[in-house]
Amino acid sequence: MKLIVLMMAIVAKKFNIVPVWLSDDSRWNPYFERIQQFGFWDMASSPMRTCLIYAPVVALVGLLNGFLGDVLLGLFGIIIAVVVLLFSFGTRDLNDELGEYLLFWRANNKDHYRAVAKKYFSLGSWAVDDEEMHRAVFGEVLQRSCFYLFTPIFWFLVLGPMGAMICGMCALIVRQGENEQVDVSVFSSELVQSSQELQEILAWLPARIMALSFSIIGRFSTVITSALQSFVATERATYDVLNDCASDALSLLPLVEDKEVMREQAEMQMIGLQSLLSRTLGLWLLGVAVFSIFGFGS
């Protein structure tokens, strides 16, 4: 069943057939405001406030999935699981964002590709040169792929829709906290930081499994050592683990000084990254299918 849910959610995301209401983060604002009305809210610490926000939603998803998925009607359970996964995948399609960035990069339209980088990846300062911009976007795409795709998939397989919902709530709080149009009183910096820390914890194991996947579909001999070492280096951030292993898998060379050649080289690296992530997703789905066939998953 989990493989069917994954395929339905990924196809829906890929072809942009996600319901509009599911992609509207502002719909959650009334819920956040009601949670804040509890007297315990003001006395609670940031981790406790995070739990106050997450717990009712995650518990509701678990109950609905349990009753409608396993007890009453399986079809409704599948629909709930698909909706939860689509929510956990975030409001934007990473491939579309990267494609828009590459379109302006190829045209050497500096104003536009920096605007796209700032809009989608929180990057794009004029003080940063093109080489730094490329490296920053490269790393950001990897990290967001982990946070918005592979981590929700991993925890969905482990904990079901509740696992994916926790990932989705983390991402929602972080997005809302970064949104300048949202009332800052709803999301204190401590609450956003708490969600970011939880997001990093949830991504710890999926990121390292991604690194191992890079060694299988990329250059095994150059990736496997750093991928295995990442399990020992427990303090290494998700960004650094994925960036190093993806660079090894693609055998990336330092960018040259010539601007025209550098732009072509950077473009090929981005295209290679897109292919690497697509093949990694395919490998994960193949693994889920194998486990399902042999009865280790459902």
Q: CB neighbours of 11 closer than 8 A, spacing ≥ 6?
A: none
Q: What is the DSSP string of 61-80?
A: HHHHIIIIIIIS-HHHHHHH
Q: What angle do CA 99, 251, 273 make, to 5 degrees?
A: 15
pLDDT in tens, 209-235: 999 999 998 888 889 888 998 888 888
Length of the chain: 298
**Contact indicator for 158, 218 with CB cutoff of 8 Å:** no
Q: 127 pLDDT band (50/70/90 cuts)?
A: low
pLDDT in tens, 181-216: 555 455 667 788 889 999 999 999 999 999 999 999
Q: What angle do CA 226, 274, 96 make, to 5 degrees?
A: 135
Q: CB neighbours of 290 closer than 8 A, spacing ≥ 6?
A: none
How far is residue 156 from each of residues 18, 62, 131, 187, measured CA to CA in Å? 19, 12, 37, 26
Give Cα 149 to chain centroid, integer Å: 4
pLDDT surpassing 70 at residue 45: yes
**What span, in angstroms and rounded, lies between the C-alpha atoms of 277 and 294?**
26
pLDDT in tens, 49-81: 888 899 999 999 998 888 876 656 677 888 889
Q: 148 pLDDT band (50/70/90 cuts)?
A: very high
- Residue for token digits 């981005």? 270
